[in-house]
Structure 1
Amino acid sequence: MAVQENDWVARLADEVIDDVVRRRGSLEGYTITCASGLSPSGPIHLGNLREVMVPHLVADEITRRGIPCEHIISWDDYDRYRKVPFGVDGVDASWSAHIGKPLTSVPAPPGSAYDSWAAHFRAAMEASLAQLGVKYRGISQTQMYTSGAYRESVLHAMACRNDIDAVLGQYRTKVEPPAATSSSRSPELQDQAAVEAAEGSGAAGEDDGSAEGAEYFPFRPYSRAFGTDATRVTAYDPETTTVTYVATGPDGDQVVETMRLDTDTHGKLVWKVDWPMRWAFEGVDFEPSGVDHQSPGSSWVVGKDLAPIFGAQRPVGPMYAFVGIAGMAKMSSSKGGVPTPADALAIMEPHVLRWLYARRKPNQSFTVAFNNEIHRLYDEWDALERKIAGGKGQPADNAIHARSVRTATADLPRTAVTVPYKALCSVVDITGGNVEQIGRILTSIDASITDLDVARPRLDLATTWLETQADPEDRTVVRSTPDTATLAGLSEHQRQALAMLAADLDANWSLDGLTSLVYGIPKRQAGFDVTEKKLPPEVKADQRAFFALLYQLLLGTDTGPRIPTLLLCVGAQRVRALIGA
């Protein structure tokens, strides 16, 4: 199928479909599987969301074409608790006593309604995915391992451990991985320099179960004595499936334990083996991964050679780049304090957040704006909406917009009457959140707003942004009394401009009307028609000077909200009083 060059979703969908047809001969009777993996080891941040949105968008595109497709999310809740994340309310250093336990065996943060650490953070992400319209089948790795669903796969891996070790040996080097390794699909995102330094080190810190000078075993038990994975397998009897291992406690004391893989389930395959095993078990056709998983020697690279051991092949899987926050360093859930999808959805509509992930190719990094950049972001979105509504969108624009506002099965809820996000922030700011004044002003901006509900949720989201994200120094405070000193020093040209403004306020009392008025006054003073667009530099300079004067008289500052919005918020009577008219 021919697709637009800029439509990365359609191109990846084509690639997945072509790959399935190549392997199977046809799509008949087959359901394509797109996969994501999330580790609920702490707050699941906006960088992790890309792990979900790339497969979601591809799966949704395949579904739109009428081809059966399923999106699965593996919750890696049987991973070890690696470290105590910073910034989780009520969680302190005492939680370090749980390091090494499965995430589902770690207590939830204080006050949580959930029974485990994993369930607590999984629930928060699930709520956000529901808002974003992401449909998926969730798979708990704790449930899969402890139910015995993977038993035959584990036994197969142990039987093929020498073959697995031989594959891994091709990628190992003498560089030691970090001490605190993780079997997580979403390990701590490293600084770019650290990622580059890890290239060739044999895994970017991922666990492959190797033990220097000892027999290789791709399985790691959780001990009965201590409940952690601080264990080292020393022997395996394939006849009885008995694993013998040494478990080390927090004080360094050791015990020897055994478990039978044909009946016991307190353990899991090491990550580099676990991932290709799941590709085979779930029949995964598409799964992207981050930079840290695709460096030389890492799980994605090694998985290509390990997947055939389980009767599968590595799925189609592009690398996705990091997500930042308006100039912040790329995010790491283990460092704490980084925004989550819920944080973003508190200040922006779901379709706008979807758009951020849909408009950029997976290998392109981007930022999610929590500062003043959100105003520009929303302006870009509104411009796209106008382009689409006017039939001027390019095919790629139309595709990105469609994927943002609806899925293959449903439209996302949206604000009925949209007012520019920055204007809403200004209105709420200047009025102090007074509902009656907000209603009056919004009706002046758009006559169709007869009830504030039609301006929601965008109005509520802008209010939340103003209250939680806006720089206090940027808040708007209207003068309570006229600036007599400035008024006394006005030039005749300035007095004339203010008089023209006062005289024509009532006749132009709408956002469009006031926009034409304030931009038109310097034009009229210079002898130009108010519709003239080609202005000499001196008239443009006079416009800027006029706006600066209004900011000084109304706010006592050099800048502020857009002048037309400011005038609407202040009110005609008060404007006249403050400009001395």
Structure 2
Amino acid sequence: MTDELRSAALESKAWPYEEARKLLKRYPDGKPGGAPVLFETGYGPSGLPHIGTFNEVLRTTMVRNAFHTLSDLPTRLIAFSDDMDGLRKVPDNVPNGDMLREHLGKPLTRIPDPFGKFDSFAAHNNAMLRDFLDRYGFDYEFASSTDYYASGRFDDAIRGVLRHWQGVMDVMLPTLRAERRATYSPVLPVSPKSGVVLQVPVEVVDAEAGTIAFQDEGERIVQSALGGLSKLQWKVDWAMRWVALGVDYEMAGKDLIDSVTQSSKIARVLGGRPPEGFNYEMFLDDKGEKISKSKGNGLSIEQWLTYGPEESLAFYIYREPKKAKQLHMGVIPRAVDDYWQFRGNYAGQAVKEKLGNPVHHVHDGKLPDGTLPVTFGLLLNLVGVMGEGATREQVWAYLANYVADATPAAYPELDRLIGHALAYHRDHIAPTLKRRAPAGVEVAALERLDAELAALPEEASAEDIQNIVYEIGKSRFGEEGGFAELRDWFKALYETLLGSSQGPRMGSFIRLYGVANTRALIAEALAAA
């Protein structure tokens, strides 16, 4: 750690450093007893994990890494699964819904796995989450709510809730509607009869012994609230966890602003200190609706990693966490190209600018070697004109027109991107491509482009070709019967040659695809006119 880097980080406006500085202020002399500064993320395994779930761990890790730049204090990161929660509704995107419906209300760890692979539904979803996190190499400790409750690790904290029952109720009751107030309890007993997590009024019988009383199917039950025989209501549970574990940092979505407020008050009632953190904006689907685990309307991590590399996902998640962003297939190509643009800029930047560059946080300041000689967008356009039967080997053959030493060994990351481009085209572009016939001035402009390409010397560069394309459009711009806007010429090229309404710099594309191949495309288009 250089003094220059630490000094720059102390002043950096990049959001991970702004968040990490909150922890410096929290513990100017270190955490008491030399304990590690504890970061926590939460996951509710009532549905399959999606990128919104994964995003919280990634962003928290970025703050943790930023804190390591600012401080030499030790840290831990716990990924906590709320798998003791009762299942409230059947997710739309899992099999065996009728079976799950029979177990509504039971803790997620006591519901059979609808996929038939694990001991419970929670175990299945927890395994998926851990697989995602392990794939990225996160340094984290997984924690299960069920394990913590059942093992007694939360027993003392639960006794604390029973001791401060009225104080907790004083925080919560004013936030509830009248009918909810009548039945609200900070403690949710697990029914000894049905196994369901009950939402019924509860009486504290003996706070020190941890015993409670409640009605279950018309019978008054007195049982322990400890050892996994109950769980706490959500906002109380969150506060209890912060206090019991000594959590110092936890971020949450904007939809949980009220929960953070109430849980923070409850943490103080219990004698603890709420963690630092901030509320990030939500990811939206392509219709602008909030992504939901139970709806399954978001991208899965597997889907993104089919069509784009891991670092492009991390790059997309890093940027503007307090701004709502859409998360669907259409954002992947731009994320890939933006990532590489920022990565290309990194080496030439001063330390201050490097700390504000998203790729610094994607790679924790340890960027891999390698450059990308063509954009992902250009690869997609190339694959688009090659057709559905295009292979990785054929793409490399075309790249030889454009890139010196065009081999997978020389450009391993480009080789990965070719695989992503082939998959993305197959699944998301090919079904939408439709070339139209040129009309009017477009015909004459294409004929001139063909003639210009025929006269090109073999060593013509992408820039030379781009200038020719531009001059053709410019010469037809504004004349009677010509292009109303210069961009209409480029749009015509995309629609008649590539079958898309948008596309690459044509000079780069023609140099990559080859002049002869491009002339063949023009001939096909003119034949359809």
- Normalising by structure 2, what TM-score? 0.83
Alignment of 1:140-289 (within 5 A): 140-169=144-173, 171-174=174-177, 176=179, 211-212=182-183, 217-230=185-198, 232=200, 234-238=202-206, 241-248=210-217, 254-261=218-225, 264-289=227-252
Change (3 A) 1:221 1:289: same
Give the secondary structure class of the aligned counterpart of 2:79: strand
Contact 1:276 1:307 in 2 (8 A): yes
Residue 186 (structure 1) aligns with: none
Give the secondary structure class of the aligned counterpart of 1:34: strand
RMSD: 3.7
Alignment of 1:40-55 (within 5 A): 40-55=45-60
> Of 299, 320, 339, which residue of structure 1 is paired with 2:280?
320
Contact 2:185 2:199 in 1 (8 A): no
> Of 379, 383, 401, which residue of structure 2 is paired with 1:424?
379
Residue 91 (structure 2) aligns with: 85
Q: Percent identical across equivalent pairs?
A: 25
Change (3 A) 1:129 1:418: farther
Give the secondary structure class of the aligned counterpart of 2:102: helix
Mapped to 2, the partners of 1:163 and 1:489 lie a distance apart of: 76
Alignment of 1:487-526 (within 5 A): 495-504=447-456, 506-508=458-460, 513-520=461-468, 523=471
> Of 363, 369, 376, which residue of structure 2 is paired with 1:405?
363
Give the secondary structure class of the aligned counterpart of 1:73: strand
Give the secondary structure class of the aligned counterpart of 2:429: coil
> Of 333, 336, 349, which residue of structure 2 is paired with 1:375?
333
Residue 353 (structure 2) aligns with: 395
Residue 4 (structure 2) aligns with: none
Change (3 A) 1:447 1:290: same
Residue 399 (structure 2) aligns with: 442
Describe the superposition over 1:414-443 as per-residue Cα deviations: whole angstroms up to 9, x where unpaired: 876453111222233333322331110122
Change (3 A) 1:115 1:506: farther
Deviation larger for 462-471 or 278-287: 462-471
Contact 1:332 1:338 in 2 (8 A): yes
Change (3 A) 1:245 1:577: closer
Contact 2:453 2:515 in 1 (8 A): no
- Normalising by structure 1, what TM-score? 0.76
- Which amino acid in structure 2 is aligned with residue 279 of structure 1? W
> Of 291, 312, 335, which residue of structure 1 is paired with 2:295?
335
Residue 530 (structure 1) aligns with: none
Residue 191 (structure 1) aligns with: none
Mapped to 2, the partners of 1:237 and 1:486 lie a distance apart of: 85
Residue 323 (structure 2) aligns with: 364
Mapped to 1, the partners of 2:495 and 2:160 lie a distance apart of: 76
Mapped to 2, the partners of 1:163 and 1:545 lie a distance apart of: 68
- Which amino acid in structure 2 is aligned with residue 157 of structure 1? V
How far off its partner does 1:47 sit? 2.7
Change (3 A) 1:228 1:444: same
Contact 2:298 2:328 in 1 (8 A): no
Contact 1:554 1:579 in 2 (8 A): yes
Change (3 A) 1:459 1:125: farther
Change (3 A) 1:307 1:338: same
Contact 1:519 1:543 in 2 (8 A): no
Change (3 A) 1:267 1:519: same
How far off its partner does 1:39 sit? 0.6
How far off its partner does 1:160 sit? 2.4
Mapped to 2, the partners of 1:569 and 1:84 lie a distance apart of: 50
Contact 2:360 2:367 in 1 (8 A): no
Describe the superposition over 1:69-121 as per-residue Cα deviations: whole angstroms up to 9, x where unpaired: 11111111111111101122x232442111111111111123x5322111212
Mapped to 2, the partners of 1:325 and 1:305 lie a distance apart of: 33
1:463 aligns with 2:406: no
How far off its partner does 1:278 sit? 1.0
- Which amino acid in structure 1 is aligned with residue 241 of structure 2? R
Residue 117 (structure 1) aligns with: 121
Mapped to 2, the partners of 1:458 and 1:415 lie a distance apart of: 13
Alignment of 1:297-316 (within 5 A): 299-316=259-276
Contact 1:426 1:565 in 2 (8 A): no
How far off its partner does 1:330 sit? 1.8
Contact 1:80 1:101 in 2 (8 A): yes
How far off its partner does 1:156 sit? 2.4
Describe the superposition over 1:488-512 as per-residue Cα deviations: whole angstroms up to 9, x where unpaired: 9965x8655422211326333xxxx
Contact 2:483 2:489 in 1 (8 A): no
Mapped to 2, the partners of 1:46 and 1:146 lie a distance apart of: 30
> Of 408, 431, 434, which residue of structure 2 is paired with 1:472?
431
More helix per residue? 2
How far off its partner does 1:18 sit? 0.7
Mapped to 2, the partners of 1:526 and 1:318 lie a distance apart of: 51
How far off its partner does 1:570 sit? 5.4
Gaps of 5+ in 1: 178-209, 249-253, 528-534
Contact 2:497 2:521 in 1 (8 A): yes
Gaps of 5+ in 2: 1-6
- Which amino acid in structure 1 is aligned with residue 464 of structure 2? S
- Which amino acid in structure 2 is aligned with residue 31 of structure 1? P
Contact 1:486 1:553 in 2 (8 A): no
Change (3 A) 1:323 1:456: same
How far off its partner does 1:546 sit? 6.4
Mapped to 1, the partners of 2:262 and 2:152 lie a distance apart of: 26
Contact 1:62 1:68 in 2 (8 A): no
Contact 2:395 2:418 in 1 (8 A): no
Give the secondary structure class of the aligned counterpart of 1:504: coil
Change (3 A) 1:84 1:423: same
Contact 1:168 1:302 in 2 (8 A): yes
Mapped to 1, the partners of 2:477 and 2:248 lie a distance apart of: 61
